[in-house]
Amino acid sequence: MTKTLAFRWALLSSVASALLLMLAFPFTRVFPLTLGCLVPLMLALRGQGWLRGLLFGLLFGFIYQSYIMFWANFFGPPAYLFLAGYKSVLPAFFGLLCGGLSRKRPELYPLAFVSGFVGLEFLQTFGPFGVTWGMLSHAWARQPLVIQCCSLLGPWTLSLLLLMANASLLVTLLPEYRIQRKRWWIATCTLWLLSLAFGSWRLGQELEPGTTFTAGVAQNSMGRDVRWDPNFAQTALLNLEKLTLSAANRGARLIVWPETAIPYRGFRKLPRLTFEIGMLALQSKSYIIVGSIEKLDDEFNHTLNTASLVTPQGGFEGQYDKQRLVPGGEYLPLEKMLRPYKIFDRVMRYIPGENAGGVFNCPDLGIRPGMLICFESMVPYLAAQRVRDGSDVLVVATNDGWFGTNPAIAHHFEMAIFRAVEQGRPVIQCGNTGISGMIDERGRILEETPINQAVLAVHEVTARRERTLYARVGDVLAWVGLGVFLLCPLLPKGTQASAGKL
């Protein structure tokens, strides 16, 4: 019989896990906590049964998601609470299954928790609200040696290693798992050593020659309080033009503007503005990627979130309309039902673009930038799609001004680090208020700007064409983790001694 924690202690343990995991992310960034922060949750769920498992999983999920999703409060408390609640559904379901399984098959509980949590993180990327926001592995974004393993089987690889460390601590703490301790520690230490050896080799690996060019990002830092004020529109445009010319004078030949940088709606239908930007590209002799809001001529005043490529000859040669929109921010789910309520007035009326592309061609530079707009850089599969379509450098245009100084602004930039490692492609990110910069194909930061300052970043970037193992095989590890979790109840029963007896 598995001895479980008393209800109040299990409740406190669930809360403790959520708080410890929160501390692993910006601003506090105590990332080593991820090596053991889930042990209290594992203790809380162990042997509790279905309903209590559901409660503790929900509590853990809601507290953690309320912190990690706090940025959504900009769109109003209903959007924030809905998003935090929605993202807590899977942790609650995970807790339900772990609570039940740990009572019926205690010997399989550590394996089920590890594989199930990998599957949980993977499932969080599905659906309109799906992002990898707050994954275990993301806490280690600024540790290049450790994150190289993500080029093998995706971000789930590092999450698996961290979960195995948590499971090893659990079996050490509980006498009923004494028979499993040696196996867990040998497996965990072996995989960590192999991962670190691989990371060291990959960081020191001599790469095949790529196409090197100088890139610039124009962070004009127009805050959300004045961003769409007509009195500041011309000022915003002049700032961008000044930054662009400065970048060109420093040798930049691909210059990226932020998401929706043009402070006028329907930019591509305004001849005066398109001529002005075309002449800027001609004068700077650079490709410019311009973010704008394009209006559709329909009764609902729908708009597109667009990135356009302007050539050094002054022409407009490419357009990408954002595919993955922010629910509750860029569009309103259940719009007919909810739109009449004034509390949802902040929610915009974007619709996803119809063109499935997203890879521009810059023949003068010999590169093919793959576009990701804001929310789109938060999921691995969109970056993978750009690489499959021939991109050799990833470009993230974003407007993180509505984050203010929330730690989400740093977390978003760190997601770009993972996209670089996973796909073996450099990333150029430009945000309206930051963080902007360049990241190489190994996830090393080449340039990083401060937030809420009008600054320019210029750096050499080398486009790459080699594909990582993860780019070739996709989310195999995540599917395996999910499969093992669901199959655990069907595995042959072990002996009583396999779990031990209290």
Nearest alpha carbon to residue 491 among 97, 49, 105: 105
Amino acid at position 478, single letter: A
User: Is the separation of the CB atoms in 1 and 103 below 8 Å?
Assistant: no
DSSP string, 336-355: HHHTTSGGGTTS--B---S-
CA separation (Å) from 469 to 153, 348, 367, 472? 7, 39, 22, 5
**Highest CATH level, class, for 211-465:** alpha beta
The pLDDT value recorded for residue 493 is 66
**Kind of pairing between the strands at 393-398 and 427-431:** parallel
Query: 345-355: string of b/e by CB count within 10 Å (b at 16+)?
Result: eebbebbebee
Helix, strand, coil content of the chain in percent (nearest 5)? 50, 15, 35
Under 8 Å CB-to-CB from 130, ≥6 apart: which residues?
124, 379
Under 8 Å CB-to-CB from 401, ≥6 apart: which residues?
221, 222, 223, 224, 227, 431, 432, 433
The pLDDT value recorded for residue 474 is 93
Angstrom distance (rounded) from CA 42 to CA 58: 14
Phi, psi of 451 (to 5 degrees): -90, 155
Angstrom distance (rounded) from CA 88 to CA 147: 26
pTM for the full model? 0.90
Phi, psi of 392 (to 5 degrees): -115, 0
The pLDDT value recorded for residue 383 is 94
User: Is the separation of the CB atoms in 243 and 454 below 8 Å?
Assistant: yes
User: Is the separation of the CB atoms in 393 and 425 below 8 Å?
Assistant: yes
The pLDDT value recorded for residue 267 is 84
Phi, psi of 426 (to 5 degrees): -65, 155
The pLDDT value recorded for residue 497 is 33
Angstrom distance (rounded) from CA 39 to CA 178: 16
Angstrom distance (rounded) from CA 110 to CA 485: 10
User: Is the separation of the CB atoms in 443 and 421 below 8 Å?
Assistant: yes
> pLDDT tens-digit profile of 112-130?
999 999 999 999 888 777 7
SS3 state of residue 219: strand
> pLDDT tens-digit profile of 228-246?
566 667 888 889 999 999 9
The pLDDT value recorded for residue 3 is 76
| Strand ranges of the sheet holding 287-295, from the earlier edge strand across to the other edge | 316-321, 303-310, 287-295, 254-256, 211-219, 455-463
- Residue 496, number of CB atoms within 10 A of its CB: 10
Residues paired with 437 in a beta bridge: 429, 448
Amino acid at position 381, single letter: Y
Amino acid at position 128, single letter: P
Amino acid at position 235, single letter: T
The low-confidence residues of the chain, meaning pLDDT below 70, are 1-2, 75, 223-232, 298-301, 327-349, 355-356, 492-502
